[in-house]
Amino acid sequence: MITAGCDIGSLTAKALILKDGKILASEVILASAQPEKSAIEVMRRAVEKADIKMEDIEYCVGTGYGRKHIPFMNSPESEIACHGRGAVWQVPSARTVVDIGGQDAKAIRVNEKGNVERYVYNDKCASGTGRFLEIIADSLDIELNDMGDISGQSSEKLTLSNQCVIFAETEIISLVNEGKEIADILSALHQAVANRAASLARGIIVEPDAVMTGGVAKNSGMFWALERALGMKMHRVDNPQINGALGAAIFAADKIEGLRQ
């Protein structure tokens, strides 16, 4: 049985192909302005990588903010449900999932089957989302993907006094002008984003084991900052960014099994 999940986010589009409980292939591309095009392109690449044909996919579930625009999906599923399901598949002991995306942050409590029990999310304020990191990377002229490694070299502890992205950007520019090290500034930035995400997560009462998903989890500086903010060890997942697409593909497999019965 071959199923697929397609997750169209604000910044990236993800596709994943599942065959009999194993990941055949996954792809992540930058999302274009047209979600439909992103969906077709990312799925085309995943199918090619898996060395199958589009017709081999028996069922495809779509998720992410652009899920309604995926032309080839059979049914949509919420991001919350997909992230919960994907995380428990990756880490069976996971009960809390903190997902930081490009434009939102979510905290989800799940049971042992990966079903959602409670959740909370923020898409109203850019602080605590990936956009905070993106804006600062841009103004400091640093690659988003390098931020984690650079912050790892931090030696002096700095604290940002502003939570608002707009005010924090000004604060960071003055720290640079004062001659502070970029590594120390980035470390403080990671802590600020993590603190915000952690206070969101506390709203659902964080139960171990906790995992971090979403593209931001690839940044090791963010991962450690979130551990500090939550005051607990977290589990790493191998592929945090495709977690939503994975959950979608698992839902797709459920659908096929449901149809067969």
Partner 1 sequence: MFAAGCDVGSLTSKAVIMKDGKIIESVIIKSKTRPWESADEVMGIALSRAGLTMKDIKSCVGTGYGRDKISFIDEAISEIACHGKGARWLVPSVKTVIDIGGQDCKALRLDDKGNMMKFITNDKCASGTGRFLEVMAKVLNLNLDEMGEMSARSKKPITFASACTVWAQADVIQHLNDKVPIEDIAAGVNNAMASRMATLANNIGLEKDVCMTGGVAKNDGVVNALEKHLGIRIKRIRREDPQIAGAIGAALFAMEKAKGGVL
Site string for partner 1, 48-87 (x = CB under 8 A): ----------------------------------------
* Cα-based distances in Å from 219 to 12, 15, 82, 95, 148: 16, 21, 22, 22, 5
Q: Which two tokens stand for residue 10?
A: 């604000």
Stretch that binds partner 1, among 24-32, 120-128, 184-192, 217-225 (CB under 8 A): 120-128
Q: In the range 95-114, which residues lie near partner 1 by CB under 8 A?
A: 103
Site string for partner 1, 192-231 (x = CB under 8 A): ----------------------------------------
User: What length does the chain have?
Assistant: 261
Stretch that binds partner 1, among 42-50, 145-153, 158-166, 191-199 (CB under 8 A): 158-166
22 versus 124: smaller Cβ distance to partner 1: 124
Out of 22, 124, 233, 260, point to the residue binding partner 1 (CB under 8 A).
Answer: 124
Out of 29, 116, 120, 135, point to the residue binding partner 1 (CB under 8 A).
Answer: 135
Q: Can residue 117 be called a binding residue for partner 1 (CB under 8 A)?
A: no
Q: Which two tokens stand for residue 70?
A: 């995926």
Least CB distance to partner 1 at residue 240 (A): 23
CB 127 within 8 A of CB 165: yes
30 versus 164: smaller Cβ distance to partner 1: 164
* Backbone angles phi and psi of 129, in degrees to 5: -120, 170
Q: Can residue 248 be called a binding residue for partner 1 (CB under 8 A)?
A: no
Least CB distance to partner 1 at residue 84 (A): 25
Beta bridge partner(s), residue 17: 4, 25
Size of the site for partner 1 (CB under 8 A): 13
Out of 106, 131, 196, 255, point to the residue binding partner 1 (CB under 8 A).
Answer: 131
* Backbone angles phi and psi of 18, in degrees to 5: -115, 135
Residue written as token pair 């989800």: 108
CB 154 within 8 A of CB 183: yes
**Hey, is 231 helix, strand or coil?**
coil
d(CA 74, CA 80): 18
Cβ atoms within 10 Å of 237's Cβ, excluding its own: 21
Least CB distance to partner 1 at residue 248 (A): 25
Helix (H) / strand (E) containing 24: strand 22-30
Stretch that binds partner 1, among 58-66, 71-79, 125-133, 216-224 (CB under 8 A): 125-133
Stretch that binds partner 1, among 22-30, 40-48, 144-152, 159-167 (CB under 8 A): 159-167
**Hey, is 116 helix, strand or coil?**
strand
Characterize the bridge pairing of strands 22-30 and 2-8. Answer: unpaired
d(CA 7, CA 47): 15
126 versus 222: smaller Cβ distance to partner 1: 126
Contacts with partner 1 by CB under 8 A lie at 103, 123-126, 131, 135, 162-167
